[in-house]
């Protein structure tokens, strides 16, 4: 999320549209709870790095904080 073209509003709009196709409404509270649970899961936290390009350097804790601060604030409760 550090790219110059990062647009939180467009990401949330796409997320809502995708979830609408699934007939699901995900609130901020539900997403926050799900993310918190995933961050405690070694299966989740260890599964992500292998699917990223090798040159990608990232920190899952910082990424989760960015999702919380920059994306989830745009979802309704």
Q: In the structure, what pLDDT confidence band is assigned to residue 49 with cuts at 50, 70 and 90?
A: confident
What is the predicted pLDDT for the residue at 9? 93
Helical segments of the chain, H only: 8-21, 28-39, 42-47, 60-66
Q: In the structure, what pLDDT confidence band is assigned to residue 58 with cuts at 50, 70 and 90?
A: confident
pLDDT per residue as tens digits for the range 12-36: 999 999 999 999 989 999 999 999 9
Rounded CA gap, 3 and 25, in Å?
A: 28
For the cut 60, the answer to whether the pLDDT of residue 4 exceeds it is yes
What is the predicted pLDDT for the residue at 32? 95
């Amino acid at each position: 999320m550090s790219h110059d073209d990062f647009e939180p509003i467009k990401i949330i709009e796409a997320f809502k549209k995708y979830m609408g196709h699934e007939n699901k409404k995900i609130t901020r509270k539900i997403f926050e709870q799900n993310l918190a649970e995933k961050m405690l899961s070694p299966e989740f936290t260890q599964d992500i790095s292998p699917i990223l390009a090798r040159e990608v350097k990232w920190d899952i804790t910082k990424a989760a904080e960015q999702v919380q601060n920059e994306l989830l604030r745009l979802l309704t409760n």
